[in-house]
Each structure stands twice: as C-alpha cells, then as structure tokens.
C-alpha cells in the first residue's frame, strides 16, 4: 500500500484527473490527528474557480474508536473520501467528458459541462 501522506502520482486516468486540480484527496497531518479532505473547486469570482480542501474525516493518530490500527482507519477514511469525490463527477450529456459539479450544471438534456453549455446551448458565462 502506498504511503497515504505522499501526493498522488501524476499519471492518473481522465476520470481521476477530471476538474482542477487533478488530486482528489488531501491528508493533512496535525499534532494528534489526520484531517482527510477532498479537493474541490470553489468559484471565488465569476471568472475564477480556485481549489479548496473540504474536510471529510478526522482520524485520531493514536487510537481508533473501533479498536483498529490508526493506519487502517486512515486508509478507510481516504477510500471513503475518494469514493465521495468520484461519485460527484458525472459525464457531460453532450461531450461525454467527466465533469465535476463545479464545472457543469443541469440542462434539459442532462448534466452539461460549462464548455458545452456555451458552445451548444447559448449560455454565456
């Protein structure tokens, strides 16, 4: 198993790399715990989507409430956070590209990325 505190590799497939930035999960080491967050886009301005860490779990570094090893609890929290982020990414109804929710919206034809909304549906951003 790879070290969970190392960054994810640069060679991710297109579903993993959908959206900006191409990393799903961040593990931040605190004094007594690990904070597991998903990296999601946040529209700071109309023209700027910035990456933000959304905390998903806090794992105690010393003991787990279920009696499991802290590394196992961390691995489980990372897997849950990755799964939650993967489930939020949907294919665009027009081009089929994987699109995170912050880079698309629901149209009559289904969920569309912002690019297809501008090109095909006349939406101006």
Is residue 91 a contact partner of residue 101, using CB atoms and an 8 Å limit? no
User: What pLDDT, on a 0 to 100 scale, did the predictor assign at position 64?
Assistant: 66
Most confident range (mean pLDDT) of 13-17, 18-22, 50-54 is: 50-54
Q: What is the pLDDT of residue 23?
A: 61
> How confident is the model at residue 39, as a pLDDT?
87
Write down the domain spans for the chain: 1-88, 89-125
Angle at 37 between CA 13 and CA 19, to 5 degrees: 35
Instruction: Report the Cα 78 to chain-centroid distance in Å.
Output: 11
Closest to 116 measured CA to CA, from 87, 96, 86: 96
| CA dihedral angle for residue 54, residue 33, residue 72, residue 26, rounded to 10 degrees | 30
Specify the pLDDT at position 109. Answer: 78
Instruction: Check residue 43 and give its pLDDT.
Output: 86
Q: Say yes or no to pLDDT of 93 above 70.
A: yes
Per-residue pLDDT, 12: 43
* Claim: this prediction has a pTM higher than 0.75: no
Q: Given a cut of 70, is residue 88 above it in pLDDT?
A: yes
Q: What is the pLDDT of residues 31-84, one digit of tens each?
A: 889 999 998 888 888 888 888 889 999 998 886 666 778 888 888 998 899 888
């Amino acid at each position: 198993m790879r070290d969970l505190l190392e960054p994810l590799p640069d060679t991710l497939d297109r579903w993993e790399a959908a959206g900006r930035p191409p990393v799903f999960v961040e593990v931040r080491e605190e004094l007594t715990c690990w904070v597991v967050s998903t990296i999601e886009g946040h529209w700071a301005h109309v023209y700027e989507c910035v990456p933000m860490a959304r905390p998903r779990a806090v794992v105690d570094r010393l003991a787990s409430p279920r009696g499991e090893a802290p590394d196992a609890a961390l691995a489980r929290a990372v897997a849950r956070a990755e799964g939650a982020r993967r489930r939020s990414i949907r294919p665009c109804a027009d081009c089929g590209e994987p699109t995170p929710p912050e880079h698309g919206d629901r149209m009559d034809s289904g969920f569309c990325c912002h690019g297809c909304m501008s090109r095909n549906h006349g939406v101006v951003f």
